[in-house]
Amino acid sequence: QQSLVFACRSADMLTRAYTQQRLALRHRQYTQLPTVLGCSLGDSLFNAVQQQQFLQVFSGAAVPLQWRFIEGQEGNYNWETSDLQIEWALANNLLIRGGPLLDFSVGGLPAWLAQWEHDFWNLQSFVCDFVETVVSRYHGRVRIWEVAARGNSGGELAMAEENRLTLVAKVLEVARRVDEDGQFLIRIDQPWGDYQARGQHKLSPLHFADALVRAGIALSAINLEIGVGYTPSGSPSRDLLDFSRMIDFWSVLGIPLQVTLAFPSATAPDPSVTTDLDVDPGSWRLPVSEPAQAAWLEEHISLLLAKAGVVAVFWNHLADCQPHRFPHAGLLRPDGSRKPAIDSLQKLKHVHWPGS
């Protein structure tokens, strides 16, 4: 056991040295790194304090545009929150990423769609209609579209893996037909493929994305969702070297990468969480805490900034008072006060985007 501990520590030391070297080389070329640092705006509106905290750190905003919130009842659309979020992001010159429009994880699609889960062709029609509607509405204001999320792991509507792949390919075609100049990406969760241990998937995460590429689907980027320290559908902690190798592994597709991160700051029950995810208390070298979250964030975002193939890094959500997927992963506590992690982000911003 002691040998394994020393091996992991050595791997971390080696990767930190690599990160410092690569960042120094990148800064010789760029005073401000070209990588976007962003965060999701969540499914509710920010108050004035949250807006200020967001703008102090981030240059990119992910506007969810999730179907289950926009069309909670069939045929009744509620665009109010999305409209206001996009207006606010535009007014503050933030890079906007719209989506994910479709979330294939458990509970990610409108409940009323369940009546069509065994009628794939009607289901496809409803899905394509929504994608066409939302892309048409925000065409010209949103240029980067995250069309589908978690299609590789699935879980919603008992949909077969082959049908999910077909559906993702179809909606990407529909979105591109509506916005010919847009950039379109998909989100891959658990990019190491941990969910394959359940024996319900034939395709690895990389093979799922590669199948789309081989089918002639033009992807502008792939967003890797890495939620470390969560069970049952998060990613166990790896050492920094394994994390670095995973990013390099995905780079073989030759497609720019975006990365969405989450890491917990506490283990207690989270009243605002919207999923069945729990915190795994033994997930990293440090016990789960706010300082551990800050240390993990700083280490891993620094590594991602050192990778030329990573064009954007997003944090999963800003405030723990918002409804959110990953427990205790926010940068602000439920009472609105700052966690150490947001100070770590601000320090990274001053180093890698001076004067911004």
- Other beta carbons within 10 angstroms of residue 84's beta carbon come to 14
Tell me the pLDDT tens digit for each residue of 223-265.
Answer: 999 999 998 888 888 889 999 999 999 999 999 999 999 999 9
Q: How far is CA 303 from CA 14, 18, 215, 308, 309, in A?
A: 12, 9, 32, 10, 12
Measured CA to CA, the distance from residue 39 to residue 140 in angstroms comes to: 21
CATH number corresponding to 2-352 = 3.20.20.80
pLDDT grade, residue 4 (50/70/90)?
low
Residue with tokens 């994910």: 100
Strand partners, 38: 60, 314
Does residue 134 carry a pLDDT above 70? Answer: yes
User: Is this prediction's pTM over 0.85?
Assistant: yes
Least confident interval from 105-109, 169-173, 225-229 = 105-109
Q: How far is CA 253 from CA 146, 189, 203, 221, 222, in A?
A: 18, 17, 16, 10, 10
3-state secondary structure the chain: CHHHHHHHHHHHHHHHHHHHHHHHHHHHHCCCCCCEEEEECCCCCCCHHHHHHHHHHCCEEEECCCHHHHCCECCECCCHHHHHHHHHHHHCCCEEEECCCEECCCCCCCHHHHHHCCCHHHHHHHHHHHHHHHHHHHECCECEEEEEECCCCCCCCCCCHHHHHHHHHHHHHHHHHHCCCCEEEEEEECCCCHHHHHCCCCCCHHHHHHHHHHCCCCCCEEEEEEEECEECCCECCCCHHHHHHHHHHHHHHCCCEEEEEECCCCCCCCCCECCCCEECCCCCCCCCCHHHHHHHHHHHHHHHHCCCCEEEEEECCCECCCCECCCCCCCECCCCCECHHHHHHHHHHHHHCCCC
Measured CA to CA, the distance from residue 122 to residue 163 in angstroms comes to: 13
What's the burial of 2, exposed, middle or buried (CB within 10 Å: 0-12/13-18/19+)? exposed
Q: What is the mean pLDDT of residues 107-111?
A: 93
Does residue 43 carry a pLDDT above 70? Answer: yes
Tell me the pLDDT tens digit for each residue of 284-330.
Answer: 778 999 999 999 999 999 999 999 999 999 999 999 999 999 999 99
